[in-house]
């Protein structure tokens, strides 16, 4: 189901996040469109990721619009068996990605009993997303990569020079570029934290814009999340979270940072997250705290070294980083390591 979730805690221009929700449903033979935005997203992919001489040939990817996936749009959620509610997950896409590109992984997890919220980040890393207030929201309209592009006066060389920046950043030779990416990571982190709360809320409330056939009320395993009815003494305990985080590449960096900053104050120290899986994470684009934790025992610091980060709030120093208290799985592609 492609939808929006309102996240009042977001401090961005829009209080909504765009997402695709994958969830278990009854057996069927129907199919759905792989890329709901069709040729528009194919054209944007070529604009932002292809070599300069291919940037205008979006039609080369239009075959993607013919792809169907074995999923039923807006199907009624399957009722879980007694005593087994559906697990919760958040999926963060990589650079130039979006929620649809991870359909294979998402459908597999849904088939195994997970309600997975796959985000379309609006930090400039997705070629195109949809905003409920203003419609289509494209890569070139975002401020972070505009700053990268506007650094060059020669329009014809923008794509080539930008791709060079990406390659240089991957080797840690362009500190300015990497720091800009870390700024994007902070926005992604905020979206993940807000979307996690919105996902948990689906267990008790169905948004008015959801189809009549879709409701998750009473179906989600939120037993480990914080309840407003808990006493102060109960809420002081550090609890196990109920949301698993998954991210690929830029998304891997984003979920590592989000899991590290799940702090909510001195009288409500519950965890939101249960576990983190980062696939080929762009570790250099994470915040200093995450890099310090991952690189402990080594001389590595990442591009530009470790920066002093001010506490997010007055209680931040009282609660240890969440990443150190979560099971974390880092997955790397063996083929990449063989070619370095």
pLDDT tens-digit readout, 47-76: 878 888 888 898 999 999 999 999 999 999
Q: Is the pLDDT of residue 202 over 90?
A: yes
Q: Which helix (H) or strand (E) holds 19?
A: strand 16-22
**Positive or negative CA dihedral for 253, 276, 332, 69?**
negative
- DSSP output for 109-125: HHHTTEEEEEEE--SS-
Q: Residue 62: what pLDDT?
A: 92
What is d(CA 50, CA 208) in angstroms, rounded to the nearest whole number?
Answer: 40
pLDDT of residue 145: 42
Q: Hey, what are 253's tokens?
A: 């960096």
In tens, the pLDDT along 10-38 reads 655 567 788 899 999 998 889 998 988 88
- With a cut of 60, say whether residue 266 has pLDDT above it: no
Report residue 175's pLDDT band, with 50, 70 and 90 as the boundaries. confident
Confidence of residue 40 (pLDDT cuts 50, 70, 90): confident
Question: If DSSP codes are grouped into helix, strand and coil, which group holds residue 172?
Answer: coil
Length of the chain, please?
340
- Beta-strand relationship, 87-92 and 243-248: parallel
Task: Name the β-bridge partners of 87.
Answer: 114
Lowest mean pLDDT among 17-21, 228-232, 319-323: 228-232
Q: Where are the domains of the chain?
A: 2-339
Decide: helix, strand or coil at residue 275. Answer: strand
Among 9-13, 232-236, 283-287, the range of highest mean pLDDT: 283-287
Q: Are strands 114-120 and 128-131 parallel, antiparallel or unpaired?
A: unpaired
Beta strands at 114-120 and 16-22: parallel, antiparallel or unpaired: antiparallel
Specify the pLDDT at position 335: 63
Q: What is the pLDDT of residues 135-172, one digit of tens each?
A: 666 654 444 443 333 332 333 333 334 444 444 444 44
Residue 135: Cβ-neighbour burial (10 angstroms; 0-12, 13-18, 19+): exposed
Average pLDDT, the chain: 77
pLDDT band at 231 (very low <50, low <70, confident <90, very high): very low
Strand-by-strand arrangement of the 273-279 sheet: 2-6, 16-22, 114-120, 87-92, 243-248, 273-279, 328-331
**4-9: average pLDDT:** 69
Distance between CA 327 and CA 20 in Å, rounded?
Answer: 26
Q: What is the CATH number of domain 2-339?
A: 3.40.50
> Would you state the structure tokens that stand for residue 16, as one six-digit string?
């909504």
Give residue-wise pLDDT tens across range 99-132.
999 999 999 999 999 999 999 998 888 887 777 6
Determine the pLDDT at residue 337. Answer: 60
């Amino acid at each position: 189901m492609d939808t929006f979730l309102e996240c009042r805690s977001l401090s961005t221009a829009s209080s909504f996040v765009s997402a695709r929700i994958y969830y278990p449903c009854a057996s069927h033979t129907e199919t759905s469109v792989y890329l709901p935005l069709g040729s528009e997203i194919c054209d944007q992919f070529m604009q932002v990721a292809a070599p300069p001489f291919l940037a205008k040939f979006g039609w080369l990817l239009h075959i993607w619009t013919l792809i169907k996936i074995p999923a039923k749009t807006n199907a009624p959620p399957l009722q879980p068996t007694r005593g087994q509610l559906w697990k919760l997950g958040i999926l963060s896409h990589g650079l130039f990605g979006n929620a649809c590109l991870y359909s294979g992984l998402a459908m597999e997890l849904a088939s195994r009993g997970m309600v997975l919220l796959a985000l379309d980040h609006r930090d400039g890393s997705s070629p195109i997303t949809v905003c409920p207030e203003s419609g289509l929201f494209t890569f070139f309209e975002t401020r972070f990569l505009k700053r990268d592009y506007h650094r060059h006066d020669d329009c014809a060389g923008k794509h080539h020079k930008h791709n060079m920046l990406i390659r240089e950043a991957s080797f840690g030779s362009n500190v300015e570029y990497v720091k800009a990416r870390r700024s994007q990571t902070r926005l992604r982190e905020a979206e993940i934290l807000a979307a996690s709360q919105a996902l948990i809320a689906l267990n008790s409330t169905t948004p008015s814009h959801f189809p009549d056939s879709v409701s998750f009320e009473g179906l989600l395993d939120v037993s480990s999340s914080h309840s407003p009815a808990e006493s102060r003494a109960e809420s002081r305990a550090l609890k196990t979270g109920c949301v698993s985080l998954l991210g690929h590449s830029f998304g891997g960096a984003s979920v590592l940072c989000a899991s590290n900053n799940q702090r909510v104050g001195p009288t409500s120290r519950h965890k939101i997250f249960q576990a983190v899986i980062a696939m080929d994470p762009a570790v250099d684009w994470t915040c200093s705290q995450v890099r310090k934790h991952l690189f402990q025992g080594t001389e590595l610091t990442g591009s530009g070294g470790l920066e002093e980060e001010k506490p997010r709030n007055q209680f931040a120093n009282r609660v240890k980083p969440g990443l150190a208290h979560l099971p974390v799985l880092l997955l790397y592609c063996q083929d990449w390591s063989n070619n370095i």
